[in-house]
């Protein structure tokens, strides 16, 4: 039962964690530093199942670069227009926020989901990294195109803010992935023996992440 809850039925504990984030009493702001730790835990567990060779093979596969480019364009430029248009019709004051959220690169848990559903882990990692690097260029351009946001003199520009966020994401990606590759190289048999535990471990990190992400940022 537990294996299923941390596997194909992960949505059950995820929804419970979501509700808990809204209803648990108390101030959780002191636990906010755990959010990047849990994010790193998700990627670390997932990256233990991905070798550098798999990533290289995914990148060098014939047609991989056009496919990767098309997916990044779809994610960063085209998909955000759908929630923006829908929200603009129903609740115009929320539309800029929906556009901004839609323009963000994929979450770090996307690699865990790709693994859970038998997707291409190498391609998922490349898509996540590529989107994170390109987002600082596409997001300010999209905001400018739709006339959203104005630069305040003396404050960092949108491009600078997005660049800092992209750097944060790249570090958040690179640190657990590098650590995972070191462990794969040092203790391959240990990793092999525990492969079946890695996806549940990633989901186990995801659930408290959902709770804390909400509880640490909700209004008192």
| E strand or H helix that includes residue 102 | helix 95-102
Q: Does 153 or 133 have the greater pLDDT score? A: 133
pLDDT at 125 over 90: no
Please, what are the domains in the chain? 2-215 (1.20.1530.20)
Contact 198, 48 (CB under 8 A): yes
pLDDT at residue 183 in the model: 94
Span 73-90, average pLDDT = 88
Please state, in angstroms and rounded to a whole number, the distance separating the CA atoms of residues 114 and 38: 18
pLDDT at residue 219 in the model: 57
Q: Which of 130-134, 160-164, 206-210 has the lowest mean pLDDT?
A: 160-164
pLDDT at 33 over 60: yes
Q: Which residues contact 211 (CB under 8 A, 6 or more apart)?
A: 17, 18, 20, 21, 24
pLDDT at 162 over 80: no
pTM of the model: 0.73
Instruction: Classify residue 195 as left (phi > 0), alpha (psi -120 to 50) or beta.
Output: alpha
pLDDT at residue 26 in the model: 85
């Amino acid at each position: 039962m537990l294996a299923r809850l941390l596997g194909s039925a992960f949505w059950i504990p995820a929804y419970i964690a979501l509700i808990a984030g809204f209803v648990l009493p108390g101030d959780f702001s002191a636990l906010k530093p755990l959010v990047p730790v849990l994010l790193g835990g998700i990627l670390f567990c997932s990256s233990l199942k991905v070798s550098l060779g798999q990533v290289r093979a995914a990148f060098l596969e014939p047609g991989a670069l056009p496919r990767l480019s098309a997916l990044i364009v779809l994610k960063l430029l085209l998909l955000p227009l759908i929630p923006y248009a829908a929200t603009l019709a129903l609740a115009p004051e929320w539309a800029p926020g929906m556009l901004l959220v839609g323009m963000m690169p994929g979450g770090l848990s996307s690699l865990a989901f790709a693994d859970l559903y038998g997707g291409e882990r190498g391609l998922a990692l490349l898509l996540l990294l590529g989107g994170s690097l390109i987002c600082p260029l596409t997001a300010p351009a999209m905001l400018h195109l739709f006339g959203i946001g104005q630069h305040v003199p003396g404050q960092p520009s949108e491009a600078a803010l997005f660049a800092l966020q992209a750097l944060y994401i790249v570090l958040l990606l690179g640190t657990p992935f590098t650590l995972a590759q070191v462990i794969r190289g040092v203790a391959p048999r240990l990793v092999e023996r525990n492969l079946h535990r890695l996806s549940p471990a990633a989901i186990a990190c995801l659930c408290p992440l959902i709770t804390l992400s909400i509880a640490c940022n909700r209004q008192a």
